[in-house]
Chains A and B, each alone.
Chain A
Amino acid sequence: MFELLSYLPKLLKGLAVTFELTFLALVFGGLLALLIVALRGLHIRMLTWTLNAYSGFMRGTPLIAQLFLIYYGSAQLQPWLQSMGLWRAFSDPMFCAIFTFSLNTGAYQAEIFRGALSALAQGQIEAARSFGMTRLQILKAVIFPLASRLALRPYSNEVIMMLKGSSVASVVAVYDLLGSARAIFASTYDYSVYLAVGVCYVVFVEAMRRGLKLIETKVFNQ
């Protein structure tokens, strides 16, 4: 028990890294997803095809493979990255993890947004337009409220998946919550650290699940 307390500072630092990874990936991934949805809306065949390939790749391969491809792959591209002035960023595992996770969750979030948009009844938008509402008004008053309601459940799943998925960063020596636990275990062979961190993850995921469910019922009356 006292051992666990002595690990506490390291574990708390790890927890902060886990939240940082999850939060940044979700934000950058969300921006990427909006961009993807907007580009899809242009209906340019080549572009749509490329976006489909991107989305298929990101969703059909393991996150750890994507992370290795970017982290170890960038080492092979070192001279080129150096000449572009990007090497300092790509030699940092934390940067590579955030970069990979953003690309990954961006593809998933784009799929969620697209699903919600395509589920909207066309009639609603036509009705709004025939009332003489402008595009921006329609977006703000019709599309956004309806689509966000539809997207909330899959979106909350994605948030949870990202929180759990961020633990994959520990394999490239990022000391997130799991990474710190692994480091402590490697030097002490104290199994209880895994159990403690396991409880921690379960509590956070469950709290998040319930919180998002509460939003669903309270805010959207679903």
Chain B
Amino acid sequence: MSNEQFIGWIWQLLEGASITLQLTLICLPVGMVLGMSIALAKLSSSKIMAFFAELFTTIFRGLPELMTLLILYYGLQMLLEKGNEYGLGDIQISSFTAGVVALSLVAAAYSSENFLAALQSLERGQIEAARSFGMKRLQVFFRVIIPQVLRIALPGLSNNCTNILKDTSLVSIIALEDLMRKSYLASGNTKQPIIFYACTCLIYLAMSGVLLAIFSKAERHFSRGVIRHV
């Protein structure tokens, strides 16, 4: 393998890494918001809502992530083909979309558990106090509940978020050209798997390192003014 070839493939890996990053950056916020809603649904007084929220978490925490991805990829494809038969037009599902949907659902299932535990640890008195100050429900949610929930949930969330980053590598199985797929192509083409998979691992390490650093900064931000009992 010439030097130029090597550098060319490394560029390919970095291109793949940008797809990995895009996937992660879309799935994490979507998953968080969905996860928060599911946590609230679990606490809702409506039995049906709580049941479906529970079912959702059981399914998407129970399925292996690769399985979720395959079920959604082929499932959505078949649904769209059915739609085409009824004249919905020719829509194709890209592997990127399937990846985003699958991993957002997984992120939601896991983060809902973090949010649920955090929500349950809040004292009711605080919410009642805020309400009696005349704060509206939404105000209470964003100014009293969210800052505290984030503080409590962040350590668990940071763990789950790095897991999602790592899980994005599974989209390579449905032929999305992410970092993992590019390194598969690179090592197949050059017959030098060790060097390319090692580089790929280093890139993943760097990305999860940055993610963890962001989370620890956020943890510090949200625990300002809290006395730590060491």
Residue ranges of A at the interface with B (Cβ–Cβ < 8 Å) = 56-57, 60-66, 68-69, 72-73, 75-77, 164-168, 170-171, 178, 182, 185, 191, 194-195, 197-198, 201-206
Contact = CB atoms under 8 A, between A and B. Distances in A.
A60 B204 contact: yes
A62 B204 contact: yes
A62 B67 contact: no
B84 interface: no
A65 B197 contact: yes
Interface of B: 58-59, 61-67, 70-71, 74-75, 78, 162, 166-167, 169-170, 172-173, 180, 183-184, 187, 191-194, 197-198, 200-201, 204-205, 208-209
User: Binding site of B, secondary structure by majority: helix, strand, loop or mixed?
Assistant: helix
User: Binding site of A, secondary structure by majority: helix, strand, loop or mixed?
Assistant: helix
A61 B64 CA distance: 17
B61 A201 contact: no
Contacts of B170: 62, 64, 168
Nearest to B75: A191
B22 to A, nearest CB: 16
B230 to A, nearest CB: 13
A110 B58 CA distance: 27
A176 B197 CA distance: 24
Contacts of B67: 167, 178, 194, 197-198, 201
Contact of B169 (A62, A72, A191): A62
Contacts of B172: 64
Contacts of A191: 74-75, 78
Contact of B204 (A61, A204, A206): A61
